[in-house]
Amino acid sequence: MELSECINFILTSTQNSVFAYFKSRLQSFDVTPVQYALLKCLWTQDMQTPTQLSQILNLDASSVTGILARLEKKGLLERTYSKEDRRSVHVRLLPDGKALQPGIEAVIDEANAKILSGFTPESVSLFKQNLRQIEQNATTALESVD
């Protein structure tokens, strides 16, 4: 099989291009695509735990911890610890983190429209369905290897 026909190569190449475009569009907000994804989770439901965020984003706990630290340093969120159990942590948006939502979401909507231009709504829906099926197939295949 030619490398250019390998699904892993196609997906990786596509992901790299899309990521670079989204990164460039988010640069003016001083937020990376993965930081945006974490903020989006909190805009949807504030006061989540790092474990909840890692499950939603499909990232390991140490990656989420690093992202949280960078966003906390920027003054966009804070981690609050339970007085009863110091191991219990919740992540809360700060005013500056909430204030980014309208601008960032407008840029994300524009970026998605740009990336998906030329596709009908039906083909976009089918494309997303196919990607989810590929993800499920890969997960099932990986489970059978173990």
Query: pLDDT digits over 86-140, tens only?
Result: 778 999 999 999 999 999 999 999 999 999 999 999 999 999 999 999 999 999 9
Q: What is the pLDDT of residues 41-100, one digit of tens each?
A: 999 999 999 999 999 999 999 999 999 999 999 999 999 987 777 778 999 999 999 999
Query: What is the rounded average pLDDT for all residues in the chain?
Result: 96
Which tokens is 34 given? 């993965």
Architecture per CATH, domain 15-115, reads as: Orthogonal Bundle (1.10)
Q: Give residue 8's pLDDT.
A: 96
The Cβ of residue 42 has, within 10 Å, a number of other Cβ atoms equal to 20
DSSP element (H, E) containing 92: strand 89-93
The whole-model pTM stands at: 0.90
- Residue by residue, DSSP assigns 49-60 as -HHHHHHHHT--
Distance in Å from the first CA to the final CA of the chain: 26
